[in-house]
Amino acid sequence: RQAAAIVREQAAAWDRVVVVVSAMSGVTDALVRGARTAAAGDGETYGAIAAELRARHRDVVGALPSLDGEGAALLADVDGVLDAFATFCRSVHVLGEATPRAMDAISSLGERLSAGILAALLRRQGCPSQAVDARQLVVTDDAFQGAVPLLDETRAAVARRLLPLLEGGTVPVVTGFLGANRQGVTTTLGRGGSDCSAAILGVAAGADEVWIWTDVNGVMSADPRLVAAARTVPCLSYAEVGELAYFGARVLHPRTIRPVVEHGIPLWVKNTFDPACPGTRIVAGPESTPGTVKAVTAIEGLSMVTVEGRGMLGVPGIAARTFAAVAGQGASVLMISQASSEQSISFVVPGAAVAPVVRAVEGEMARELARRDVDRVWSLDDVTIVTAVGAGMRATPGVAHRIFGALARAGINVVAIAQGSECSLSLLLAAADARQAVRRIHEEVIEP
């Protein structure tokens, strides 16, 4: 109801509005769990999940009494989608595997349910609306579970199928998260992909603005569960959003906003449950007061790997080979630091990747290790990266001093430091210190 109220308000305020929806909370997780358990030989769980989801969606439909006659048709749709879920899971169970393609067919069903319900509610409330299956609009490559939309094809499909609805005064409610490849096979854009759907449809439809409605007041200056005084950041540049997303803040994925950035379309992040709060505006260029830090974030569950040896000094290629070995394990590197003595290289990877990464680097350096040019490859576990983000630290002396001062006063030791873009400063800390560090930086550097 809240979502419908927002749509009606915006539909009255703007000439044309396209709505993109996610699945209801927890639904995609449940669908994925159904598929995984079925693949693992469990022939029962998916049936229970189907029953649970059926009950939940039926409850929602039932709680919207204004649906009247539409209610029965909608319930039939809900049943149809969940029957498909059970059928897909049964096949997965028989085959004993859930291929990426099967996972997409299954995990995309939640959006099909939510779009139908919202469109029906809008219609009943007097707002002409129609659910649109994104497989008719969003054309993607074949990378199941992380497909990339193809802009030209998508633009053509939008012109054919979406613009006429808008011209006719209808508010389309498009399923987020999913699309189809050129052959029409269902794909998904990766978890959390509805934002990405909104961005690509915004570009393809030539939107004036794209608004992302979430469940918090825009992008916050810190995780509100950690910092009670966390507040909405009024404006962020694309670069700052990228830093925040990379360093663990659950904001927009930079990939999501890229098409919007490139086309200079303003983007807002707003709160469904507090629509009056202006939220966060995301703009292309930097927009900052010199010396200010906007947000602080932490990414947990990491390990630092160090390659060290006196024989590395002045030897070209050690870094290239090290990182090639890391890449070979499919691990992403979150932070790198090398002392100018060239006697060690340290980098941070997710904790789950550390054992294979150390083995791979040792394998790559086998000769150097035997010759003692490299002394050892080792890891420090249970570390957290705490990152302060703000373009205001660019070219302003003293920001790092304030950050380090805040940590020093709390007696927190810094293991390693990296400053990349000059709009973020990352500190590697023992996991046990991270929460306290976030609070101190917020209190002493962001709040004033």
Three-state DSSP state, 377: strand
Stretch of 20-28, 218-226, 269-277, 372-380 lying at the interface with ligand ASP (CB under 6 A): 20-28
Q: How many residues can be counted in the chain?
A: 448
The one-letter amino acid at 79? D
For ligand ASP, how many residues bind (rule: CB under 6 A)?
Answer: 10
Helices (runs of H) and strands (runs of E) counted in the chain: 16, 16
Q: Is the dihedral of CA 170, 175, 180, 184 positive or negative?
A: negative
Q: Does 187 bind ligand ASP (CB under 6 A)?
A: no
Instruction: Single out the residue of 144, 177, 238, 246 in contact with ligand ASP (rule: CB under 6 A).
Output: 177
Q: Which is nearer to Mg ion, 22 or 114 (CB)?
A: 22
Q: Please report where in the chains the tokens 């990464």 appear, as a residue.
A: 357
If binding is defined by CB under 6 A, does position 248 make contact with ligand ASP? Answer: no
Residue type, 374: V
From the list Mg ion, ligand ASP, none, which binds 390 (C-beta under 5 to 8 Å, kind-based)?
Answer: none
Distances (CA, A) of 406 to 83, 118, 224, 388, 409: 57, 48, 19, 12, 5
Among 34, 116, 172, 176, binds ligand ASP (CB under 6 A): 176
Q: How far is the CB of 115 from ligand ASP (least distance, A)?
A: 11
Nearest one of 390, 369, 252 to 307, comparing CA atoms: 369
Closer residue to ligand ASP, CB minimum distance, 110 or 279: 110
User: Which of 19, 28, 137, 360 touches ligand ASP by CB under 6 A?
Assistant: 28
Selection from Mg ion, ligand ASP, none that 110 binds (CB < 5 to 8 A by kind) is ligand ASP
| By CB under 6 A, residue 192 contacts ligand ASP | yes
Cβ closest to ligand ASP, residue 28 vs residue 170: 28
Which residue type is seen at 400?
A
Contacted entry of Mg ion, ligand ASP, none for residue 191, CB cut-off 5 to 8 Å set by kind = ligand ASP
Binding site for Mg ion (CB under 5 A): 22
- Least separation in angstroms between residue 23's CB and Mg ion is 7
Residue with tokens 């983007």: 267
Write out the binding residues for ligand ASP, residues 363-392 only, by CB under 6 A.
none
Q: Could you write out the DSSP letters of every residue in 240-293? A: HHHHHHHTT-SS--HHHHHHHHHTT--EEEEETT-TTS--EEEESS----TT--
Q: Residue 88: which of 144, 27, 29, 37 has the closest Cα?
A: 37
Choose the contact partner of 177 out of ligand ASP, Mg ion, none; CB within 5 to 8 A by kind. Answer: ligand ASP
12-17-18-23 Cα dihedral, nearest 10 degrees: -30
Which member of 36, 56, 191, 250 binds ligand ASP (CB under 6 A)? 191
Binding ligand ASP by CB under 6 A: which of 23, 427, 441, 445?
A: 23
Please report which helix (H) or strand (E) contains residue 158, including its range: helix 151-161
- Taking a C-beta distance cutoff of 8 angstroms, is the pair 335, 348 a contact? yes
E strands within 323-373?
335-338, 344-350
CB nearer to ligand ASP: pick between 192 and 291: 192
Minimum distance of ligand ASP from residue 389's CB (angstroms): 23
267 vs 284: CA distance, rounded Å: 9
Query: Binding of ligand ASP at residue 193 (CB under 6 A)?
Result: yes
Interface with ligand ASP (CB under 6 A), residue from 20, 22, 123, 406? 22
For position 110 contacting ligand ASP by CB under 6 A, the verdict is: yes
When asked if residue 116 is in the footprint of ligand ASP (CB under 6 A), the reply is no
DSSP summary character for residue 73: H
117 is a contact residue toward ligand ASP (CB under 6 A): no
List interacting residues with ligand ASP (CB under 6 A): 22-23, 28, 110, 176-177, 191-194
